[in-house]
Amino acid sequence: MATKRGMKTHSWDTKIVKKDGNEMTRNFQIQIPVLAAVGRYTIEVVLPKNSTHPLKQSGQIIVLFNAWNKDDEVYLAEEDLRNEYVLNDDGVVYAGWSRRLRGPNPARWNFGQFEPNILDCVLYLLENDRRIKKKPLKSLYMRSSAVWVSRILSAMINSQDDDGVLVGNWSGKYEDGNSPTFWNGSVKILQEYYDKKEPVKYGQCWVFSGVLTTALRAIGIPARSVTTYDSAHDTDNTMTIDKFIDEEGESVEDLNSDSIWNFHVWNDIWTKRDDLPGNKYDGWQAVDATPQEESSQRYQMGPAPLTAVKDGEVYAGFDAGFVFSEVNADVVTWVVKKDKNDEYIIQKTAKQLKNRVGSYISTKMVGGSQREDVTHLYKYDEGTREERKAFETAFSFGQGAKDWAGHLNVEEEGEDLVLELSTKEEDLRVGKPITCVMNVKNKSKESVTVNLTGVISSIRYTGDVWSLVKKEKFENVEIGGGRTVVKEIKLEPDEYIENLTDLNCLKFISIAKVLENKKFYVDETKFQLFNQDSIQIKFNKSPLQVGEETEVEVSFTNPLPIRLSYIKISIEGAGLAYLDTKTYRKSLHYDKTQTAKFKFTPRKPGKRTLLVDVDTTQVKDFKAAADVEVLPLKDSGI
């Protein structure tokens, strides 16, 4: 039996609330202090010696955090917030890129925190965290804190250093497991881990976030999945995303370890911060289970107070500096050279971009499926005095402050040539032609001659190059003073489809060389292709009924001018259907259809959502969802 913390005292108590004369029938109320550690407890009843029953009988209860109790550190005053961030077992995890925040449809996710073995799995994670083996009494005491529990779960959801739930894999090779794009929810992942006690393969950031949301809500901590577009990965705690070139303009790859991801998904939890001074840091805190960088020798992150992140107070909470760099780092190009000891030293700042990181920070709106923008909770508006002050505060505590501070905040020199990159098409779909456009503007009064090169590569959403797609040159291009020249590179589907990797991301780089003065100008942009609508979902009846088996037919039609092989069609839905997959080894040609039929028995009434995923060897992540009404169990009165 799961129950919630309630009393404001430090001690447990029981009282009889009902008794039946001289019979041995008593109803007891167990009063649980609000500071009780969450987890399993054994309740033991001791009977009189003259009883015909055994002298002792025991049972078990599970204590959870309580967002309904105003004295609990996770208390949420509004009922709609509790319903969303604790009770809602269905949600949205945003992906895409900064120009298309959701793609054609938002990515639905089955959190499923009330499904069988989910809470048991979360308790197993807390009970087997390696910290409890080193300091069991302290660890048990700390389990009264949502801050501590969320930090433990951020470490245990990934398998990086403690055989936790999920193996991260960004290689594009998933033959011995499932592609990260396969998953539509957390339930099967946590159930499989609890059953086998072995890490599940594979996940990337949105999967880690979805699973962590499930675990946090299951234990009673208000939580949500949060997506940041153009999210920075600062590997050296400088609060800047650093690109290094030498005096000849060549990239110094030995130093280039920072990156900007198309998007990154982590979590917010709601709790007080009694471990920090005052009450400024109460409220939303960022936590992250994706294994990026170590914190205290473990792959864990947070909870970092959003108020600290916003003000650049990187010393507050856990890992606030890392979160700050993800959402508000400056992108800096440094010119370096080697000294007499063959070590690189900074010569100057070539370029400092102050608004390229941390766009459109998004979560699901309370009570609906629309996007809510929460950027204002993480950062001030770009370019404002408050935002610059926050950056300067954060930078002063970073690793680069001592040696690099004098090189920052340098005004950029005016450029005679300006590159602007884009795609002609707004709705970018796999299987359709793509037109990459280079606008080259000559801001000077003199005519110039330019050699232009455009390079298009497929990339992972983390920014790492996967494969060269196309390279095209335009030589001796004349651009008059104050004039603009437009050049296009056309991509046909057969040129790029087989070069795509996870999430179908591409990078477009343009390099312009002015022949008169030998100057180089470089710019780049990223974009993502979304899969075409190609899935039809048909229930055999509507509405459905709790406890009555039903059937759904899922049809996938190949929308691409290539043959697709090894078709995997999967369904699942919170309170509706457990994960079920059918695999077809026969290849599917263009415009041909593969149909799969699934039987399932709805378990919960109300509006429910069936999630469908189709993966193939060549292209993955075809998604669809269908809402359906489920009636209560007949004559149940529910």
Sign of the CA dihedral 329, 334, 338, 340?
negative
Q: Where are the alpha helices (DSSP H) in 363-490?
A: 375-378, 385-396, 401-404
CA 131 – CA 208 distance, rounded (Å): 21
Q: Which two tokens stand for residue 67?
A: 């967002």
Q: What are phi and psi of 72, to 5 degrees?
A: -80, 145
Within 307-461, strands assigned E span 330-338, 344-353, 359-364, 371-373, 417-423, 434-442, 448-459
Cβ atoms within 10 Å of 232's Cβ, excluding its own: 26
195 marked as part of a ligand binding site: no
Task: Provide the pairing of β-strand 240-245 with 330-338.
Answer: parallel
Largest CA distance in the chain: 108
Q: Which two tokens stand for residue 261?
A: 């991801």
Q: Which two tokens stand for residue 293?
A: 């960088």
572 marked as part of a ligand binding site: no
Residues tagged active-site = 205, 264, 288
Q: Where are the alpha helices (DSSP H) in 85-184?
A: 118-127, 130-134, 136-142, 146-156
Q: Which two tokens stand for residue 584?
A: 């077809």
The residue type at 241: I
Please give the order of strands across the beta sheet that includes 535-539.
535-539, 550-557, 593-600
The residue type at 383: G
Sign of the CA dihedral 421, 423, 428, 434?
negative
Residue 600 · residue 578 · CB < 8 Å: yes
Written as one string, the DSSP assignment of 456-517 is EEEE-TTS-EEEEEEEEEEEEEEE-TT-EEEEEEEE-HHHHGGG--GGGEEEEEEEEEETTT
382 marked as part of a ligand binding site: yes
Sign of the CA dihedral 492, 494, 496, 501?
positive
Q: CB within 8 A of 458, min separation 6: which ones?
A: 465, 466, 467, 469, 496, 499, 500, 501, 504, 505, 506, 507
Residue carrying structure tokens 């083996």: 133
CA 15 – CA 255 distance, rounded (Å): 66
CA 95 – CA 559 distance, rounded (Å): 22
Q: Where are the alpha helices (DSSP H) in 143-186?
A: 146-156
R_g of the chain computed on alpha carbons: 28
Strand partners, 598: 552
330 marked as part of a ligand binding site: yes
Binding residues are 328, 330, 382, 387
Binding residues for Ca(2+) are 328, 330, 382, 387
